[in-house]
Structure 1
Amino acid sequence: MGDSMINPAIEYDYLIKFLALGDSGVGKTTFLYQYTDGQFNPKFISTVGIDFREKRVVYKPKTPLNAKPYRIHLQLWDTAGQERFRSLTTAFFRDAMGFVLMFDLTSEQSFLNVRNWLAQLKVNAYCDDPDVILVGNKADREDARVVSPTRAQELADKYSLPYIETSAFTAQNVKETIELLLEKVMTRMEETIDKSIFPVRQPPANPPDANKKDQVSFGLNYTPIDQLPTNYPLLIILYDPSNVNI
């Protein structure tokens, strides 16, 4: 896999969306910044709501040997870890094709909360078994480590997840994490008969009656970003359901 500069005039074969999730302060933003820009950003600003970064890469399938490489446009979504943004961030889970689930190796609570994030994924992701990489970040702070490699690996094994320890500060395993996730997602796509879709949840047995006001639901409709004009503004709307009159 090789990198390429983002140029809107250059076509690409696939638009792939990854989403980083985990408690606030575990290093999601600096991890993604290190991956896209190749440097550590020491200025910590807690993500408000959701943000994203982009990168172009070239992916070459392992089989067959003569397989042509694919030009990939990666969108890397960065979510807020605070509870008050949870309803907003989980709304974006369904659009992501792969997930970087991160905890802080120096924070016991962020490790314990991994199970909560996995539960959120099971409910809100595009399918019941999405591609997830469990990441223990801040591996450079070995003197402050509270989560041992053994404990982290045991948790990963329990949920059948790959586990990688990274450092957004030194770039340890940052690129390797995204490459592994991309390989898993592309393999899933290649194994799907119709490559234009991903496995989706089955519709409910008793769908709501659209004519009944007490069953009105809220959702998100979107146009793929590659189909938008280059100057199209990105707008995120926050709303308070208690103020909606139905």
Structure 2
Amino acid sequence: MTNLVVVVFDVTDHESFSSAKLTLTELRKSLNYIRIPGMSTFLLYTWLLVVLVGNKIDLEAKRINSVEEAQALADDLSIPYFETSAVSPYFFVYMASSVHQL
């Protein structure tokens, strides 16, 4: 059984990205302290899938947070990064399909 945590930030709002970064950092710290009897740390991470999502990519002219910055954060944490927009269902369907395959 896998549990999913989706951390979403607004690509047009730097404070939103900073909050997402803090959330991911705190989540990682929390996971380091969770001990489940009979479960190795590796298995603990495999039952929890964490995904970073940049939202509102349809507002490209107002974009503040770059793809590279967000991808670097995701890479540092070894988690997938996706971008989406509520305006187009394509991005959500692609993300959901990709996460399902992980």
Give the Cα separation in 1 of the matches to 2:70 and 2:90.
17
Give the Cα separation in 2 of the matches to 1:145 and 1:131.
27
Q: TM-score, normalised by structure 2?
A: 0.74
Q: TM-score, normalised by structure 1?
A: 0.33
- Greater Cα shift, 103-112 or 172-181: 172-181
Q: Is the 8 A contact 1:98 1:181 kept in 2?
A: no
Displacement after TM superposition at 1:98 (Å): 1.1
Higher relative contact order (CA 8 A, sep 6+): 2
Which residue number corresponds to residue 136 of structure 1? Answer: 54
- SS of 1:112's partner is helix
Which residue number corresponds to residue 115 of structure 1? Answer: 21
Which residue number corresponds to residue 78 of structure 2? Answer: 160
Instruction: Tell me the alpha carbon deviations over residues 221-242 of structure 1, each in whole angstroms, 9 at most, x when there is no partner.
Output: xxxxxxxxxxxxxxxxxxxxxx
Q: Is the 8 A contact 1:133 1:177 kept in 2?
A: no
One-letter amino acid of the counterpart of residue 107, structure 1:
D
Write the mapping of 1:222-241 to structure 2, written as runs, cut at 5 A: none
Give the Cα separation in 2 of the matches to 1:172 and 1:147.
21
Displacement after TM superposition at 1:172 (Å): 3.8
Give the Cα separation in 2 of the matches to 1:151 and 1:113.
14
Displacement after TM superposition at 1:120 (Å): 3.7
1:174 aligns with 2:80: no
Displacement after TM superposition at 1:183 (Å): 1.9
Write the mapping of 1:99-114 to structure 2, written as runs, cut at 5 A: 99-114=5-20
One-letter amino acid of the counterpart of residue 121, structure 1:
L
Identity of aligned residues (%): 33
Structure label with greater radius of gyration: 1
One-letter amino acid of the counterpart of residue 161, structure 1:
I
Give the Cα separation in 1 of the matches to 2:21 and 2:68.
17
What stretches of structure 1 move > 4 A for 4+ residues in a row?
none
Give the Cα separation in 1 of the matches to 2:63 and 2:90.
16
- Where structure 1 has 5 or more consecutive residues not aligned to the other structure, the ranges are 1-15, 17-95, 185-246
Displacement after TM superposition at 1:119 (Å): 3.1
- Where structure 2 has 5 or more consecutive residues not aligned to the other structure, the ranges are 37-43
One-letter amino acid of the counterpart of residue 163, structure 1:
Y
CA RMSD of aligned residues (A): 2.3
Give the Cα separation in 2 of the matches to 1:100 and 1:169.
19
